Amino acid sequence: MKFKYPLFALTLLISSSMLFVVQPMVAKMVQPVLGGTPAVWNTAMVFFQALLLGGYFYAHVTTKWLGTRRQAVMHLVILVIGLAFLPIAFDPPADPAQLANPALWLLVTLLIGVGWPFFVISTSAPLLQKWFSTIDHPAAPDPYHLYAASNIGSVFALIAYPFLIEPRIGLALQSTLWMVAYITLCVSVAVCAVILWKSPPRQEDESGSPPASAIPLTWRRRIRWILWAFIPSSMMLGVTTFITTDVAPMPMLWIPPLAIYIFSFIIVFARKTYVPLNVWLTLFPFFFLMLATIFLTDSGDTVLGFATLINFLGLFVFCMVFHGLLASDRPHTDHLTEFYLLMSVGGVLGGTFNALIAPVVFDRLLEYSAILIVAALVFPATAYAKRSIRLSFAISLGLSIAFMLWYFTFYLDMESSPLILLVFFSVFFVPVLLAVIRPGIGPGAVALFAFLLTANHARPQPDELHHERSFFATHQVMRNLEEGHHTIIHGRTMHGLQPLVDGQLVVEPGSYHSRQGPLGQLMEVFEARPERHPMATIGLGAGAVAAYVQPGQRMDFYEIDPVVKEIAQNPEWFTYLSECAGECPVILGDGRLQLQRADDHIYEVIIMDAYSSTAIPVHLLTVEAMEMYLEKLRPDGVLAFHISNRFMDLEPILTSLAAELDLAIIVQKGSLLERESDDYANLPSDWAMVARSPEAFGPLVDDPRWQTFEPRPDFQVWTDDYANVLQILYLFGDH
C-alpha cells in the first residue's frame, strides 16, 4: 500500500513534465514560419489550454459513464494510439505568403503535429486523481494533493527547458527523447491501472461529517470557479505580452509567467497551508494599485527593474488569491473531474480572450489592464469589510500617489506643479478611496477605477497618427514636429524613422540607416562600383533603406507583417517606398522562407534588419540560413546584419558562423558611441558585414571604425537544430 501514492504522484510528475517541455519545444519548432513574436507563444498557449480542456472533459465524461476500472482499459488503448504521432515534427507552408490568418494556421498545425499525444497526456491530472480516489488508501478521500505533485513537474520542466535542455540538446534529439518519455509514461500509467483493478473499492467514512457531495453544486458556484480560473490565466498571458513588448522583448521571458502561474497551484493544493489565504487577500490591493500605477505613468521602460519585479510579483499574488479561492472551495471527489473541467474552462477563456479576441477587439495592448476590472469585480466582496484589506488599500493608495509624484516631478523632471499633479492623481484614485471608506461599494468602486485606468491607457497620444494591431505586433505611427520626423514604433522599440523638413517628408535615410552610419558606409562602397545589381532587405520597418536604391535598380523587401507593409506604403506616413528611385516591391511572409524562393546569386547586398532591439528570430542566424543567404548573394556581395540590441549580444553568433563557413566579417559597434544631443536622424547602431572575402568590403577593411573579432572558443555555432540564447544575454540590461 505504501508504494501506491508515490507511484501515482510519480506518474503525474512525468506527465506534467512532458506537457510543459513540449510547449516551448513546439513553439521553437514553429518559429521559422511566424518569427519570434509573443503572439506565437500566446496562441500556442490557447491551443494547449483548449486541449487541456478537452482532456479534462474526456476524463469527466468517461469516468462518469464507464466507471474508473472500465475507463482505464479504454484510456490505455488511446494512450498507445498516440505513439503513431511521434516523433513530433512540423512542415512549413508551401507558400509563406498565403498565411492570411497566422493564428489559424498555427492552431491547425499544432493540432495535426502534436494534438493527439498532448491531449492524452493532458488527461492525466484529473484522471489519475479520480482513479486514486476510488482505491483503498488513507489518502484517497482527498486526492487533490496529487495536483500539487503534478505541478511540481510542470515548474521543473519550465525551468529546465531554457537552462538545461535547450542549451545542450538539439530539437531533433529533444523530439526523440520526448517520445521515449511518452513510452515510459505509457508503462507507468499501465501500472497505475493494474493497481486500480486489483485494489478493493474505497469505503466512505460514515463516522465523520456528511460528504461534500451532499451539498448540491449550484451554477453560481460553478461560475465562480470559472471566473477564478479565468483571471490568472488571462493575467499570465497579459504579463507575458507586456514584459516582452514594453519592457524587455526577450523570448525567454515567455516562460517565467507560466512558471509562476503553475507554481501557485503547487502551493494552494499542497497538503499543508504555509501562508493563509487571508494574507494573499491583504496583499492584493498593493499589487493591484502598483500595476495600475505602471500603466497610468507608462513607466515600464524607464523604471525597467521595478516594472518587471512588480509584474512578476503581482502575477504571483493574483494567482495565489484566485487559485487559493479555488482550492479552498474544492468539492467532494464525486465532483473532482467536473471541478477540474470548469477550472480548465476558465483557463481556456482567459487564453482565448488574450490571444484571439483582444487582438481583434483592441487596437492596442489593453487586455492586461482590462483584466484588472474583472479582478476587482470578482475579488470577494466580503473581503472589503475586513480592516486589514481596507488598511492595505489605504497604504497602497498613498504609495501609488507618492510614486507618481516622484516619477513625474523628479524622474521625468516635468515642469508641472506637484500640487496640480497631486490633485489630478487624487481625483483619479477617488474610487479606491471610496472603497476604503465605504466597504459596501468596494468591488464596484475599485472596478470603476480599473475602468478609468483602461480608458486612460486607450487614449491616443497627441502626436499619434495611426495605431494598429496585428498578430505579430502593435504598431504606432508618431509625428514629432519638434524633432522633425515620423516614426513607426512597436512597444518601446522604434523600427523606422523619416525626417521632416518644413513639415514635408524627405527621402533621406535616418536613425539606424543613416548615410553617416555603418549601413551608409557600406552603401558608399557599392555606389562606387561601375555596375549595380538588385538588393534585398529582410524586415521592412518604414522602408528607409529604399533611399539607397539607384534609378533602374531593385530592392526586394521581405516582411512578415502585413500591417507593416500597409504603413510603409502609405505616403501620408512614410514616402520611402512611394518615392523609390527604382523598384521596391514588398514580399509578404517569413524572410528566410521567401528569400529561399528567389533566384540564386542575384543580390549584391542582403540586409538583415529583422531583430533590432526585439525578440530575435533565431532561425535567421543559423548555419543553414547563412548557407542559403550565400546562395542568393553574388560572389562579390555582402550580407549586412543590423545587430543593435539592448538585451542580446549578437556579434558572437555571426563571428562563429563566419568561422564555421570560412567567411570574412567586420563589425562596427556604433551604439557604444555617445550620441550628440537628440539627433534621431543619425542614431548609433551596431552592424556586422559578412562576405566571402575581405575584398568585398572595399576600403572598409582599413577603416578604424570597423573591427574584427575572433570567435569565442566556448561558443557553439547555431544551427536549425540548436541555438543557445543564454550565451548572448546581457545579464544586466543595456550594454
pLDDT band at residue 305 using 50, 70 and 90 as cut-offs: low
pLDDT at 733 over 70: no
Q: What is the pLDDT of residues 102-111, one digit of tens each?
A: 778 888 889 9
Least confident of 196-205, 248-257, 354-363: 248-257
Tell me the average pLDDT across 490-515: 84
pLDDT at 244 over 90: no
Domain 490-496+505-728: top CATH class: alpha beta
Which is more confident, 279 or 158?
A: 279
Q: What is the pLDDT of residues 598-628, one digit of tens each?
A: 999 999 999 999 865 455 677 888 999 999 9
DSSP 8-state secondary structure symbol assigned to residue 87 = S
Q: What is the pLDDT of residues 386-421, one digit of tens each?
A: 888 888 888 888 888 777 777 777 665 555 556 666
What pLDDT does residue 44 have? 82
Burial class (CB in 10 A: 0-12, 13-18, 19+), 95: exposed
What pLDDT does residue 613 have? 44
Most confident segment among 381-385, 574-578, 677-681: 574-578
What pLDDT does residue 682 have? 65
Tell me the average pLDDT across 332-358: 87
Which DSSP string do the residues of 111-152 spell out, in sequence order?
HHHHHHHHHHHHTHHHHHHHHHHTBS-TTTT-TTHHHHHHHH
Helix, strand, coil percent values for the chain (each to nearest 5): 60, 10, 30
**pTM above threshold 0.95:** no
pLDDT at 281 over 80: yes
Cβ neighbors of 112 (< 8 A, separation 6 or more) are none
Integer Cα distance of 82 and 32 in angstroms: 26
Give phi and psi for 650, each to the nearest 5: -85, -10
Cell 499543508 sits at which residue? Answer: 272
Which is more confident, 65 or 492?
A: 65
Mind spelling out the 3-state secondary structure of 503-560? CEECCCCCHHHCCCCHHHHHHHHHHCCCCCCCEEEECCCCCHHHHHCCCCCEEEEEEC
What pairs with residue 608 in β-bridges? 538, 641
Length of the chain: 735
DSSP 8-state secondary structure symbol assigned to residue 271 = S
For residue 7, CA distances in Å to 1, 123, 541 come to 10, 17, 55
CB 233 within 8 A of CB 49: yes
Which strands make up the sheet holding 686-691, listed edge to edge? 586-588, 555-559, 535-538, 603-608, 633-642, 686-691, 664-669
For residue 49, CA distances in Å to 23, 115, 375 come to 11, 12, 21
Q: 666: helix, coil or strand?
A: strand
Tell me the average pLDDT across 170-187: 94
Instruction: List the Cα angle 302/308/310 in 5-degree steps.
Output: 110
Query: Would you list the domain boundaries of the chain?
Result: 1-201, 384-458, 490-496+505-728
CB 389 within 8 A of CB 285: yes
Q: List b or e across 628-660, with b for residues whose CB sees 16 or more CB atoms inside 10 angstroms.
A: bbbebbbeebbbbbbbbbbbbebbbbbbbbbbe
Name the average pLDDT for the chain.
83
Least confident of 82-91, 313-322, 491-500, 650-659: 491-500
Fold exhibited by the domain 1-201:
Growth Hormone; Chain: A; (1.20.1250)
